[in-house]
Amino acid sequence: MQWLRFSWIPGLLLGLPLVQYLPWLDLAFLHNAQLPFLLLVGALLLSFFYHSSRVGLAALLLMAFYGATRLDWLLGWEQDLPIYLGLIALNLMLFSCSRDRSIWGYLGGVWLMALLGQGMGLFWVQQNFGPLLQQFSLPHLPAWSLAFESFTSPLPLLACMAASMGAFALLILYPGPTAMGLLSCNLLMLYGVWSGMPLVPLMSVAGLLLLTSLLGSSYELAFRDELTGVKSRRAFRYQMLTPGWHYCIAMIDIDHFKKLNDRFGHQLGDQVLRMVATQIARYAPGQLFRYGGEEFVLLIPGRDREAAEKQLEFMREKIASYPMHLRSGKRSSGNKFWRSENRTGQQVKVTVSIGLAQKSRRLRRAEEILKAADQALYKAKRSGRNRMSIHH
């Protein structure tokens, strides 16, 4: 369910129809014909800095199409708009399939050629046969296709729906702000085909969505730990400026992690870090941050230290009993090295030590409480590990 974290991006899309009912907000600016260019060029330029080929290609495609309509290169594009939007949606979905990289790489070149080929193909069809919708009109279709008469007009709608479903599946497989941004654009195309939304606001909103997905990427880069997906130390630093009135801080450290790394390799070490982060997020209270290395920190709101203690104990036991098994004794690359379900291989025992401190009259400042939690953690380590120690 990691993808839910990025639901604020399509939230923007859903929010727009509501915003238009606010009497003091005039959305007429979305109809300014220059706005899509500004937003899409902005998204394209930023995508270079972020090495986000997916956003770059999407911005380029939308800009090329919008530019072609402004220059009247596409005859009768108003009638053909649903077909173009269906095609754009399918391309956006295909962009989601690839990983982000520089647009100037080999794959970026292939995509650019494919887009150019599509554009030239469409131009050629238009010049030789007229607007696309005419190709679907009955006199041009063979007699047998009359049976499918009713299917010709919903074709763009079906293309957009298929593209949206594909983009959703890809978002679940590879969750991230870019995948969510592309899915939102697909949904926007679907809405455009379904409602007949004019092109200018449609392209403006698409540009906004692409820019928002890049903003989401920059938030992830700044405040998330890439390996475990939990909030980073920087996020913790900012959170500590306004920690709340009553809270506890728990420091959690994996025991003998160096030995684990040395014995089984860093790849297994990374998998252990991910497993521990997942278990803490699932069973422990409060907000979780990766403090650094094999150390995590929890900011637990409220006065009830005993309840926090119970939950932390439960989490510690869950980690200690987590079934991590090696598949074979040999080192190998990739995730095949171990599986938690395969109980035939050697078991890797992972335990954590915890230090807990609460805000009190003597411990008022966030740094003091953090230091106290760290001292408690040190005590837990010294007294044998795989246990919790509380600062009194």
Ligand X SMILES: Nc1nc2c(ncn2[C@@H]2O[C@H](COP(=O)(O)OP(=O)(O)OP(=O)(O)O)[C@@H](O)[C@H]2O)c(=O)[nH]1
Interaction pattern, residues 335-364, with ligand X; x per rule: CB under 6 A: ------------------------------
| Nearest residue (CB) to ligand X, 134 versus 375 | 375
CA-nearest of 216, 218, 205 to 40 is 205
| Nearest residue (CB) to ligand X, 108 versus 265 | 265
Output the smallest distance, CB 276 to ligand X, in A: 11
Phi-psi region of 384 (alpha: psi -120 to 50; beta: other; left: phi over 0): left
| Nearest residue (CB) to ligand X, 186 versus 271 | 271
Q: Residues 14 to 73: which contact ligand X by CB under 6 A?
A: none
Q: Does 227 bind ligand X (CB under 6 A)?
A: yes
- Give the separation between CA 274 and CA 350, rounded to whole angstroms: 12
Output the smallest distance, CB 348 to ligand X, in A: 13
Output the smallest distance, CB 194 to ligand X, in A: 47
Q: Residues 196 to 215: which contact ligand X by CB under 6 A?
A: none
| Nearest residue (CB) to ligand X, 95 versus 296 | 296
Count of residues interacting with ligand X (CB under 6 A):
17
Output the smallest distance, CB 273 to ligand X, in A: 6
**Catalytic residue from among 149, 294, 341, 367:** 294
Tokens representing residue 54 in the block: 């997916």
In whole angstroms, what separates CA 172 from the centre of its chain? 9
| Nearest residue (CB) to ligand X, 237 versus 266 | 266
Q: In terms of residues, how long is the chain?
A: 392
Angle, in degrees to the nearest 10, between helices 305-320 and 266-283: 140
- Give the separation between CA 216 and CA 212, rounded to whole angstroms: 6
Q: Does 381 bind ligand X (CB under 6 A)?
A: yes
Q: Does 169 bind ligand X (CB under 6 A)?
A: no
Residue 313 annotated among the catalytic residues of the structure: no
347: which strand partners? 325
CA-nearest of 326, 392, 338 to 362 is 392
What is residue 152's DSSP assignment?
H
Tokens representing residue 116 in the block: 């150019």
- Give the separation between CA 109 and CA 10, rounded to whole angstroms: 29
Output the smallest distance, CB 5 to ligand X, in A: 21
All residues at 6 or more sequence positions from 28 whose CB lies less than 8 Å from its CB, including other chains: none
Q: Residues 235 to 294: which contact ligand X by CB under 6 A?
A: 253-259, 261, 266, 269-270, 273, 293-294
User: Number of C-alpha atoms within 13 angstroms, CB side, residue 59?
Assistant: 28
Beta pairing class for 352-358 and 388-390: parallel
CA-nearest of 149, 150, 133, 215 to 177 is 215
Q: Residues 115 to 144: which contact ligand X by CB under 6 A?
A: none
Q: Does 374 bind ligand X (CB under 6 A)?
A: no
Tokens representing residue 373 in the block: 């939690």
Tokens representing residue 366 in the block: 């966030």
| Nearest residue (CB) to ligand X, 204 versus 386 | 386
Amino acid letter, 39: L
All residues at 6 or more sequence positions from 217 whose CB lies less than 8 Å from its CB, including other chains: 50, 52, 176, 177, 178
Output the smallest distance, CB 271 to ligand X, in A: 9
Taking the C-alpha atoms of 26, 77, 162 and 11 in order, what is their torsion angle to the nearest 10 degrees?
-10
Output the smallest distance, CB 34 to ligand X, in A: 47
3-state helix, strand, coil in the chain (%, to 5): 65, 10, 25
Output the smallest distance, CB 363 to ligand X, in A: 24
| Nearest residue (CB) to ligand X, 190 versus 273 | 273
| Nearest residue (CB) to ligand X, 379 versus 381 | 381
Q: Does 100 bind ligand X (CB under 6 A)?
A: no
| Catalytic annotation, residues | 294
**Contact residues for ligand X, defined by CB under 6 A:** 227, 253-259, 261, 266, 269-270, 273, 293-294, 381, 385
